[in-house]
Structure 1
């Protein structure tokens, strides 16, 4: 969306078109476009309003009620921080004494909004003119006067008057993900040097970021929301509290910390298996988690934790192990047939097997449900037939 389209959407005619488009969002797009045009809305404005209404509908999961008033770009919405994550980060910055923040690569303004709501004055900078206009519009429609948005190059930003810096480099180009840090915008060499200029710096990155990029002395945090790992964040300088942190948000907030270097004990497959949250695994805190449930690994390279007894924990899903067998398609098919398993959840770590192809090959039939874990035990391909504790099997 370019600034002209955004300006058109903010006129009285644009506001009316958005209201109508909101009522049609989620339905047939051709029919919705025809409805808008039949009411006298020009084709270009109708298309912009329908696109915006659909983006607002999708954004509700990230932004809640604010989504109905905000403006979005497709790429901006994809990379935008969820409000629950941005709010938690803003609260931590505020508690650390941050009162002025430079937001470099602010996108549509998600983190700037959360920071301003926590009482921080935000100077936001965005390289793309259309996205910068969207961020400024979002600050205005949400009534946040403590956000100043500027279109410009982050590498030329004057950081002399701020307490802290937040940088979320763009990791998409022409609609495709960028995996080479040197191709980020701004590029990684600039991003990595920010803590030298402003010690209190937070860098937001994709969950799959290489641990080798963690700045010396920084705290590397991985965050999941209801089981989905959504981001990594490097807290630099005085903001670093621990070497590694896994934060789980959803029906509460849980934090696991450690060095990221500890090794869990290794033993036999136990009667209970824990599948740790992805944030725990990404943060290399499996050993720290295992200690909380008196657990161990069955293979030093596989992040499944085994115990002799179940222990309630927010950091992992627990399954009861019913059968352990060396992987054999023939034996596994016979076992599932004997048990009447027609609904099968397939989990895997350390296995090259493709779950959906295996599901077809197993020829499932019957009324029962189970979970199949494909893994390695002491280096050997192994299948574990399990039952989840405290819930039904999800086979979707």
Structure 2
């Protein structure tokens, strides 16, 4: 056997919010991987170390969780009024596929910072000190994101005192604005915020029974159900869910039923190759609990509790895109999220998640009898962890 040298591909390993992933400039990828298709998927899988039947991703950059099995491709945007195109791939840990069906809100933060690091933003726009607004075209779902990135000395400022529950160390705050974030999950800018036309639907879930659900497509397609209907109180942490195979199967059944009702899949079998979307989240009225760090969360400090599933497991904090869905649903009177938060009209909500709390806002309105969301806002942070090159066996391509 002739031994070939490994491929060396420039890359940057970044944390964004409570996620981290491997970032590439499109032009740095091998030619075969610069376009969508099997070659690109194989490359990203090999970079991350998937598919791995051991579920550890030991031979790659992945961290064996949905929050750390991610790749991002960034390139200059040809779309007017935008700086960069940002494409996100959720790499399955143990199965042979890359899910391109949605965005990662957490890594959207890092995409803005990376755009400046990569030289994609006009230096005149970056400036010397202050905030640089990076206009991002989210290519998976066809939406605009504004990342307000702090700059010091003409470079991205990463140090700061902004604290984000789920991230151990403070960093500089990056404010994200998701513009017109309602989407049908297929990149259709005209997608309805509530695809069934109902604020609350009745789902028949195999092996579970009948559940009330709010089905929404803001940020990312999400199925919200009441925690109590599943036998939970909304204060659960990862061990209570992720170690219970029966619970995981029931929650996946809820996800499949919601995906079918939302029209995201045609058959239940298709859900196996669409793990990234929709998300399932269960909500409950505010209640005190101890976060995974041991931090006490008081009932009066939050409006409600939310727990969300990501790639078949309970997320350790909250996905950024799901946070957009929470903010939008909370702002519409009558949804399960709004009712769990106490009902009424609100444009800001603070919710509890396994790692602590998060405050998000959304602007909604009724137009011709249809609810729309025009903007969602949240704060995150981002930091380069390592930069240089990743290596993969030459036989990958």
TM-score normalised by length of structure 1: 0.24
Task: Mark the structure with the bigger radius of gyration.
Answer: 1
Query: Comparing both chains, which one has the higher relative contact order based on Cα–Cα distances under 8 Å and sequence gaps of 6 or more?
Result: 2
Higher-helix-fraction structure:
1
Higher normalized strand content (fraction of residues) = 2
